[in-house]
């Protein structure tokens, strides 16, 4: 009989890729969703249509801030592995909503750790940590032993959850791992994140329905990988013989200008003619440079990134060009009005 996994944040980018990966491995996957008046399952609609009837993929209403519902859910599902991917994950938003960001980022993991602590079953727990915890104050390669220096409410909440996961592991002999993932992108990335904001706008610019793109700090440098590669790393952490903390990264760092240059050059465009900057997109406390060292995961988990930076940019651009074509059709038929910045009428 296959294993059972519970994924919080299943409707997000990582939740979608991880669900597909685990189902391919023979798992039954349960995911949590919050009750909402708007439907937000577009990333997992294919999974619902393919696997919900057979029971291989099941959704449950739950909330990270409702510890009793999480407890009940864990007891009823009786999972072998729990992957906690749910959080308010946008750094800029965390400055505007620090209380909610902290509540979900802190109480959710803590409630699950408590439930696992009292479970009759040995449940493995994965906590989604973040490279934002490091702060990026110096231009150095960062690994599992590098000190944390959080520069946002989001990062601070991740440090708390990371440390609580370690504490429960050490205090109660639980199989709890922290996955410190550096930036990982895909066509399923949220459209307010800078990489997706670029590729979404570029598709519309190519088709003549957007004039400009407004961004913030173009010199920020990140270690960007492909989300589909990283979920395999998550799973490998959970299969290792002992629980630990792990960095997943590419070992390369690129600026937002680099991303723009590669993306726009795919369509023979000069990004500097289309991109403008605005102070409103600058963070109150910038993280200028992040570079990860994944040598531990490479040596012990036999994990390494498979997708190059250039291929990642191309993948996202091609996907968002197809979405832009749909936008243009709807626009030409007067079925929508532009909701994006700097629209151009066709």
- Catalytic: 333? no
Question: What number of other Cβ atoms are within 10 A of residue 116's Cβ?
Answer: 21
- Cα separation, 154 vs 168, in Å, equals 21
Mean pLDDT across the chain: 92
Q: Which pLDDT score is estimated for 235?
A: 98
Query: Closest Cα partner for 341 from 280, 272, 264, 285?
Result: 280
Instruction: Supply the CATH classification number for the domain 4-185+224-248.
Output: 3.40.50.720
Element (H, E) at 236: helix 227-239
Q: Which residues of the chain have pLDDT under 70?
A: 1, 36-39, 89, 345-346
Q: Where do the domains of the chain lie?
A: 4-185+224-248
Q: Which pLDDT score is estimated for 11?
A: 93
Query: Closest Cα partner for 84 from 58, 112, 49?
Result: 112
At CA 241, angle to CA 115 and CA 236, rounded to 5?
80
Q: Which long-range contacts (CB under 8 A, 24 or more apart) does 217-220 make?
A: 217/256, 217/277, 217/281, 217/282, 217/283, 217/286, 217/288, 218/255, 218/256, 218/257, 218/260, 218/275, 218/277, 219/255, 219/256, 219/257, 219/288, 220/255, 220/256, 220/286, 220/287, 220/288, 220/289
198 within 8 A of 263, measured Cβ to Cβ: yes
Catalytic residue among 81, 132, 185, 232: 132
DSSP state of 132: G
Place of tokens 């498979």: 306
- Reading the block at residue 62, the tokens are 């739950």
Q: Which pLDDT score is estimated for 103?
A: 83
At CA 13, angle to CA 337 and CA 192, rounded to 5?
40
- Catalytic: 298? no
Catalytic residue among 89, 94, 130, 186: 130
- Catalytic: 154? yes
Catalytic residue among 17, 154, 168, 294: 154
Please tell me the pTM assigned to this model. Answer: 0.94
Q: Which pLDDT score is estimated for 316?
A: 98
Q: Which pLDDT score is estimated for 66?
A: 81
- Cross-strand bridge partners of residue 4: 28
Q: Which pLDDT score is estimated for 260?
A: 98
């Amino acid at each position: 009989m296959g294993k059972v996994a519970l994924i919080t944040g299943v409707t997000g980018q990582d939740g979608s890729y991880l669900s597909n990966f685990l189902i391919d491995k023979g798992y039954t996957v349960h995911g949590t969703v919050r009750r909402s008046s708007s439907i937000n399952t577009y990333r997992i609609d294919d999974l619902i249509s393919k696997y919900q009837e057979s029971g291989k993929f099941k959704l449950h209403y739950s909330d990270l801030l409702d510890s009793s519902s999480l407890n009940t859910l864990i007891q009823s599902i009786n999972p072998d592995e729990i992957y906690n991917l749910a959080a308010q994950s946008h750094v800029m938003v965390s400055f505007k909503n620090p209380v909610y960001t902290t509540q979900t980022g802190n109480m959710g993991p803590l409630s699950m750790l408590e439930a696992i602590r009292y479970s009759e079953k040995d449940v493995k727990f994965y906590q989604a940590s973040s490279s934002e915890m490091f702060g990026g104050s110096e231009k150095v390669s960062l690994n599992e032993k590098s000190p944390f220096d959080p520069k946002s409410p989001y990062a601070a909440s991740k440090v708390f959850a990371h440390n609580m996961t370690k504490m429960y592991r050490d205090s109660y002999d639980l199989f709890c791992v922290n996955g410190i993932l550096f930036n990982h992108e895909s066509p399923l990335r949220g459209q307010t994140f800078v990489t997706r904001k670029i590729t979404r706008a570029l598709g519309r610019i190519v088709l003549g329905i957007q004039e400009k793109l407004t961004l913030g700090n173009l010199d920020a440098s990140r270690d960007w990988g492909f989300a589909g590669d990283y979920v395999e790393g998550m799973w490998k952490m959970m299969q290792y013989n002992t629980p630990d903390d792990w960095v997943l990264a590419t070992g390369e760092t690129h600026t937002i200008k680099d991303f723009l240059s590669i993306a726009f050059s795919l369509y023979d465009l000069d990004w500097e003619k289309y991109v403008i900057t605005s102070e409103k997109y600058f963070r109150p406390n910038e993280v200028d440079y992040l570079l990860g060292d994944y040598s531990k995961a490479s040596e012990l988990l036999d994990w390494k990134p498979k997708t190059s930076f250039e291929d990642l940019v191309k993948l996202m651009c091609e996907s968002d060009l197809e979405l832009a074509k749909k936008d243009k059709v709807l626009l030409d038929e007067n079925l929508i009005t532009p909701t994006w910045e700097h629209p151009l009428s066709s």
